[in-house]
Amino acid sequence: MAAPAPLRVALVGYGMAGHDFHGPLLGATDGLAVTHVVTSDPARVEGVHADLPKAVTVPRAADLWPLAEDLDLVVLASPTAAHAAQALDAIAAGLPVVVDKPLGVDAAEGRRVVEAAEAAGVPLTVFQNRRWDSEHLTARRLLAEGALGDVVRYEARYERWRPEPKQRWRENLPATEGGGLLLDLQSHLVDGARDLFGPVVSVFAELAALTTVGEDVTFLVLEHASGVRSHLGATSLAGAPGPRTRILGRTGSYIVANVAGETSAYAEWSDPDDDHRGWLVAGDERRAVPREPGDWSAFYAAVVAMLRDGGPPPVDPWDAVAVLEILDAAQRSARDGVVVSLG
C-alpha cells in the first residue's frame, strides 16, 4: 500500500525561529513537506531557495489564505505580536495551525485564538519544544520514580551573559508588542513548570529592562496547587549563570549544570558523558543520572498524527493560554509589588 502524500506546510517567517528550528524539524519529519514560505527579506528568500528548494516564497501571510486548498498546515514562526492575528486568519481559512510560543502577547489574545479554533473545528497547537528536551524528560522520569521524595522547590533558569544586546525585535520592543524575555524565555520556563508540577495558584515576579526595551531580567515565583514552588529566572545579564535545573526534594536533589554547549559557573557539575544528564545529589553523595533522549521532532510527529488520525495536539492550546495568564499576572505583580492570585 502506497504511503499517503505528505501534508503540505506553509511556514510563516524565516528568521531565527523559522530557519533554525521549524524549517529543519519540518524537513526531517515523515509526512510533512514545506511547500510555501512567507518572507519578504531578499537574503532570507535566498536562504529558503538554498534550504528548501521545492518551496515557493511569498512576501506576506495574507498571500497564503487564497491558497488554502493547496495547503494542509500553517506554521507561524513570525514575531510574537503577529501570532494571534495570523492564527485567526488561518483558522478563518480552515487551515490547521502550529503557533510558535507564545500564542499571543497576552491571555486575552490567546483565548480568542483557541475559542475561534474550537468554534471552527480547526486543529491548533503551540510549539513548546522544550517539553521534549532531554533534561525535562529526565526530570519527569525521576519524579515519576519518586527518586527525590516529596518535592519542595523547582528551579529553572535561562541565564546568559549578553551585556551588549542584539539588535532584534525581541530586544527593541516592549512586552505589549511581543518583546522581552518574559514572553520569550519565560514562556518556556513557565510551561515546563506547569508540565511537571501542575496548575499555578499564585505568582510573584521581579522584572527589569536594563539594557533593552523589553525585560532583560526576569524572576518568577509560582505556587502550584500541588504545593510545589517554582523559582524561574531568565536574564541576559548573568556573568556567572546558575544551574540550568535544580529540583529540591526531601530525599535528594536533581541538578543540571547548564544548557548543552553553553558555559556555566558550575563546571564541575557538567555532564559526565553523553549517556547522562545531570546529577542526583544527597549531601556528600552524588551519582550521574541516565539521560532520557531528547527529541524535538516528536512534536511534529504528533502534529502529523493529529492531522491524519485525529490524535491529540502535542501541546493543548489551553496550556498556552494558562502560560499567558501567568505571564500577565507576573507583569501585574512586578508593577504593584504584590503576589497575584490565579483562579
**What integer is the mean pLDDT of 24-53?**
96
CA distance 290 to 199: 28
The residue among 227 and 166 whose pLDDT is bigger is 227
Q: What is the pLDDT of residue 242?
A: 87
- What order of strands is seen across the sheet that includes strand 56-58? 56-58, 32-38, 7-12, 73-76, 97-100, 124-127
Q: Is residue 251 over pLDDT 90?
A: yes
Q: What is the pLDDT of residue 276?
A: 86
Q: Is residue 261 over pLDDT 60?
A: no
Q: What is the pLDDT of residue 120?
A: 98
Q: Is residue 151 over pLDDT 90?
A: yes
Q: Is residue 2 over pLDDT 80?
A: no
CA distance 192 to 183: 14
Q: Is residue 259 over pLDDT 70?
A: no
Q: What is the pLDDT of residue 268?
A: 66
Contact partners, residue 337, CB within 8 Å, separation at least 6: none
**What integer is the mean pLDDT of 254-277?**
73
Query: In the structure, what pLDDT confidence band is assigned to residue 277 with cuts at 50, 70 and 90?
Result: confident
Q: What is the pLDDT of residue 271?
A: 73
The rounded mean pLDDT for the chain is 94
Q: Is residue 269 over pLDDT 90?
A: no
Q: What is the DSSP string of 114-125?
A: HHHHHHHT--EE
CA distance 126 to 80: 12
Q: Is residue 177 over pLDDT 60?
A: yes
The domains found in the chain, sorted by start residue, are 7-129+296-315 (3.40.50.720), 131-294+329-336 (3.30.360.10)
Q: Is residue 260 over pLDDT 60?
A: no
Q: Is residue 60 over pLDDT 80?
A: yes
CA distance 144 to 123: 30
Q: Note the pLDDT tens digit of each residue in 302-328.
A: 999 999 999 999 999 999 999 999 999
Q: Is residue 200 over pLDDT 60?
A: yes
CA distance 328 to 48: 36
The residue among 268 and 330 whose pLDDT is bigger is 330
CA distance 266 to 244: 10
Q: Note the pLDDT tens digit of each residue in 68-101.
A: 999 999 999 999 999 999 999 999 999 999 999 9
**What integer is the mean pLDDT of 144-164?**
95
Compute how many other C-beta atoms are within 10 angstroms of the C-beta atom of residue 236.
23
Q: Is residue 231 over pLDDT 80?
A: yes
Q: Is residue 202 over pLDDT 90?
A: yes
